[in-house]
Structure 1
Amino acid sequence: MINSKEQIIKYFNSGIKNEKNFKIGIEHEKFLFNNADNKRIDYLKIKEMFSALFEFGWNPIFEKKDVIGLNKGDKNITLEPGNQLELSGEKLNNIHEACAESHDYLFELKQVTKKLNLSIVSAGFDPISKLNEIPNNPKERYKLMSKDMPLGGKLSLDMMYRTCGTQLNLDYSSEKDFIKKFKVVNSIVPISIALFANSSIVEKKKSKYLSYRSKVWQNTSRGGLPKLFFEEIDFEKYADFVMNFPILFIQEKEKYISGKKYSFSDFMNGKISEISNRLPTEYDLSNHLGTIFTENRLKKYIELRSMDTCGWDCLCAGPAFYIGMLYGNLDEIYDIVSKWDKNKIINAYIESPQKGFNTQLMGKDLLYWASTFLDISQKGLEKRDVLNKNKKNETIFLNHLKKLVNNKKTNADHMINKFYKNRDLNELYDK
């Protein structure tokens, strides 16, 4: 049972790894549409998809009698609230392996979508559907979340049903290493938003945002970029943050109970009568940590969550960008961001979904900072010097981002141009 702050700190300490054992975990979400009517797929179609994926060695995951996901080895396909599909990949050694995993998954997904007359959309926000048009699914927690989340953020349901992101999970070698990495990843969120902006179309119109997904997440319950995160956050400070954070839900056997009246410290002090005042287990702590929807968060590893989903040509670029900096060149980037003013970072964070590369931060625009950090990342990947079978290192995965920076155009700009030439919805689908 968890009844002290020290136990939470111990939980974070248990994530410490030797640098040579650092892993990379990638999670990415996709929208799926029926070609016949350009509508998002419902749960019946999801079940058909899952059955078709069994042929590729995937096994069903059930909640009660309902299939709600798939598993293969250490990989999972999970079902998001609006039937977005998320691949949670294995913990891998380098970007070559992580990219190969994503492309294997793409191959399987494309076989199945072709067979069922479906299309994939790789964007940060659903470019077609209205919120009330999106089907749900039988996952129990989503019923409770759909009811409670809007109370704390006006766009929370949009986040649940109409967004897709790419997430990167990274390790730390000590508490000091965590402090540095967490400072960096929070400081560069505005750059990440601009560089990976890919959600400019909403309900078949220009949204006036390059990353409407980021705008939504800034107006989502339990989300955002707390000022606290710009301090030198150690495990104790993060444990305090977690303990004082409201609970979203408590899982009691197969039931989900709203936690909106309680903080996690209430749970630790046995104050929740609805569950007979029991104390939280490590599983309850894990659930709580996974329902804090900030741009970055700590579990037994660091989760980076500020990237829009993008097409397969750019999917490997985000992880490569961060790995080059955080695993290959941490000190150089830390020296830069540690001098930044947190209020200016937060201002850039608020403006970057709309202004993209034109957002100002510390007297420079985000295009300048994206270019600077790409160079730092490149040096880090060169230093890592992890080669594929063709003797190429991980810098090959930065090429997509270099093109964006050189052309001063985001994925979102390209999507606007492509779609607005002829307003053909097929332009929004992955080719």
Structure 2
Amino acid sequence: MIDSKEKIINYFKSGIKEPKSFKIGIEHEKFLFNNSNNKRIDYSKIKEMFTALLEFGWNPVFEKKNIIALNKGGKNITLEPGNQIELSGDQLNHMHEACAESQDYLFELKQVTKKLDIKIVSAGFDPISKLSEIPNNPKQRYELMTKDMPLGGELSLDMMYRTCGTQLNIDYSSEEDFIKKFRVANSIVPIAIALFANSSIVEKKNSNYLSYRSKVWQSTSRGGLPKLFFENMSFEKYADFVINFHILFIQYKDQYISGRKYTFKDFMEGKIQEIGNRLPTESDLTTHLSTIFTENRVKKYIELRSMDTCGWDCLCSGPAFNIGMLYGNLDEVYELISTWEIDKIINAYLEAPQKGFNTQLMGKDLLYWSSTLLDLSRKGLENRDILSKKGNNETVFLNHLQKVIDNKTTNADHMISKFSKNENLDELYDK
């Protein structure tokens, strides 16, 4: 039972690994549309798709009688509220493995989507659909979330039904290493928003944002970039944050019960009558941690969550960018961001979705900081010196970002340019 702060601290400590055992975990979401009518696919089409993917060795995961996910080895394909699908990748050793995993997934997905006449959109926000047009699915927790989430953030339903992101999961070797990585991860959020902006089109119009997804997440219940995260965030401080954070839902028998009246502290003190005043298990703690929707968050590893989904050509660039800094060159990056003022970082975070590279931080624009951090990341990946079978090190995955910086043009800028010329929906789909 999780009945003390010490047990939560120990939960985080149990994630500590030797650097040689550090892993990379990548999660990325995609929108799926019917080719025939440009509408998001419904749950019946998801079932067809999941059935077709079983031929590639995936195994079904059920909730009651409904298929809600697939797994294969250490990988999972999960179902998001508006039938977006997410690949939660395996724990891998380096970027060559991680990128190969994504390419294998793309191959399988293409076979199935072609067969079922489905098109994929790799963007941070649904560029076509209105919220009212998006079908849901029978995954139980989403029904409860759809009711409760808007109470704490006006764009919460847009987050659930109309956004897609790329997430990177990284390890830490000690509490000190965790503190440094978490501080860096939170400090570079504005740069991540600007550099990976890919959600400029909303309801078939220019939204006047480069990352409308990030704007939505800033107005989402349980989200944001808390000022607290810029302190030396020890395991104990994060445990305090978690304990005093309201619960989203609690699993009781085979039902989900709203937890919005309660904090996790109430749970630990046996004050929740709806579940017979039982105390939380480690599974309950894990669920609670995964329903905190801040830009970065902690489980037994750190999750970086500020990147818009992007196309298959740039999918590996975001994880590589962060791995170079956080695994390959942490001290140098930490020294740089330590001079940044917290209020200026938070201001840049709020402005970056709309202003992109033109956002100011410490007297420089985010294009400058993106270029500086890319150089530090490249140095880190060179330090790691992990080679592919072709003899390339991991810096090869930074080529897309170098082009973005050289041309001062993000994926969002490209989409505005392409789509605005003739407003052809085909421009929005993956080729």
Q: TM-score range by the shorter chain?
A: over 0.9
* DSSP-derived class of the 2:109 partner: helix
Q: Which residue of 2 aligns with 1:320?
A: 320
Work out the CA distance in 1 between the residues paired with 2:319 and 2:254. Answer: 35
1:50 aligned counterpart, secondary structure: helix
2-structure distance, mates of 1:361, 1:315: 26
Which residue pairs with 1:395 in the alignment?
Answer: 395
Q: Which sections of structure 1, spanning at least 5 residues, go unmatched?
A: none
SS in 1 for 2:322: helix
Matched residue, 1:100: 100
Matched residue, 1:292: 292
Instruction: Give the superposition deviation at 1:75.
Output: 0.5
1:16 Cα deviation (Å)?
0.1
Unaligned stretches of 5+ residues in structure 2: none
Partner of 1:46: 46
Using structure 2 for the length normalisation, give the TM-score.
Answer: 1.00
Residue 239 of structure 1 corresponds to which residue in structure 2? 239
Deviations 1:341-370 (A, max 9, x none): 100000000000000000000000000000
By how many angstroms is 1:253 displaced?
Answer: 2.0
1:340-419 mapped onto 2 (5 Å cutoff): 340-419=340-419
Deviations 1:286-321 (A, max 9, x none): 000000000000000000000000001110000000
**2:116, 2:299 → 1: CA distance?**
37
Q: Give the partner amino acid of 1:166.
A: T
| In 2: Cα distance, 1:393 partner to 1:102 partner | 18
Q: Hey, what does 1:80 align to over in structure 2?
A: 80
Return the alpha-carbon distance in structure 2 between the equivalents of residues 340 and 426 of structure 1.
42
User: Any idea what SS the aligned residue of 1:209 has?
Assistant: coil
CA distance in 2, matches of 1:135, 1:70: 20
Matches within 5 A, 1:215-230: 215-230=215-230
Does residue 248 of the first structure (1) align with residue 248 of the second (2)?
yes
Which residue of structure 2 aligns with residue 30 of structure 1? 30
The letter of the residue matching 1:362 is: M
Question: What do residues 53-80 of structure 1 show as CA deviations (whole Å, max 9, x unaligned)?
Answer: 0110011000000000101111000000
Take 1:338 and 1:231, find their aligned partners in 2: how far apart are those partners?
11
Cα deviation, residue 338, structure 1 = 1.0
Number of residue-to-residue matches in the alignment: 431
The answer to whether the aligner puts 1:56 opposite 2:56 as a matched pair is yes
Deviation, structure 1 residue 420: 1.2
How far the C-alpha of 1:254 sits from its partner, in A, is: 1.1
Q: Partner residue of 1:191?
A: 191
Offset of 1:421 from its aligned partner? Answer: 1.4
Counterpart secondary structure, 1:168: strand
Secondary structure, counterpart of 1:39 in structure 2: coil
Greater mean deviation of Cα atoms: 261-270 or 413-422: 413-422
Distance between the aligned counterparts of 1:96 and 1:373, measured in 2? 21
SS at match of 2:119: strand
SS in 2 for 1:400: helix
Alignment partners' CA distance in 2, 1:353 and 1:12: 32
Distance 2:59 2:46 in 1: 14
Q: Distance in 2 between matches of 1:166 and 1:319?
A: 9
Q: Which residue of 2 aligns with 1:182?
A: 182
- Structure 1: which amino acid aligns with 2:7? Q
Normalising to structure 1: TM-score of the pair? 1.00
Amino acid in structure 2 at the alignment position of 1:397: F
C-alpha distance in 2, partners of 1:230/1:359? 20
Shift of 1:170: 0.1
Query: What CA distance in whole angstroms lies between the structure 1 residues aligned with 2:377 and 2:137?
Result: 40
The reply on whether 1:10 has 2:1 as its aligned counterpart is no
Cα separation, 2, equivalents of 1:240 and 1:338: 24
- Please give the alpha-carbon distance, in whole angstroms, between the structure 2 residues aligned to 1:254 and 1:104: 35
Q: Percent identity?
A: 79
Deviation track 1:11-58 (CA, whole Å, cap 9, x = no partner) reads 000000000000000000000000100000000000000011011001
Deviations 1:390-416 (A, max 9, x none): 000000000000000000011100011
